[in-house]
Amino acid sequence: MRKEFKIEVVTEGALGTIFLGASSLPIKKMEALMNRYGQQGWDVSFQLIEHRRLLLFWNRESAVITFSRNI
């Protein structure tokens, strides 16, 4: 049995990070993405949160989601 993988990155908004110092991950966008892939037969295999640099002074979070399915 072989598997197929797909990786998606969901990042918090840059404006909220710059003006407010921090922002949250877009939960509704993540839900829509997961539901769309779920309907196509994909399962969430792995997920992690990473911090990415934004310009010189700010960091923002990104969710890296790995989907898998049998082919």
Q: pLDDT exceeding 90 applies to what percent of the chain?
A: 46
pLDDT (0 to 100) of residue 15: 53
Average pLDDT over residues 9-32: 70
State the CB neighbour count (10 A cutoff) for residue 12. 18
pLDDT (0 to 100) of residue 23: 60
Burial class of residue 65, CB neighbours in 10 A (0-12, 13-18, 19+): buried
Residue 9, both tokens: 């990155």
Whether 38 has a pLDDT exceeding 60, the answer reads yes
Residue ranges making up the domain that contains 59: 3-70
pLDDT digits (tens, 9 = 90+) for 55-69: 776 677 889 999 999
Supply the mean pLDDT for the chain.
83
Query: Per the structure, how many domains does the chain have?
Result: 1
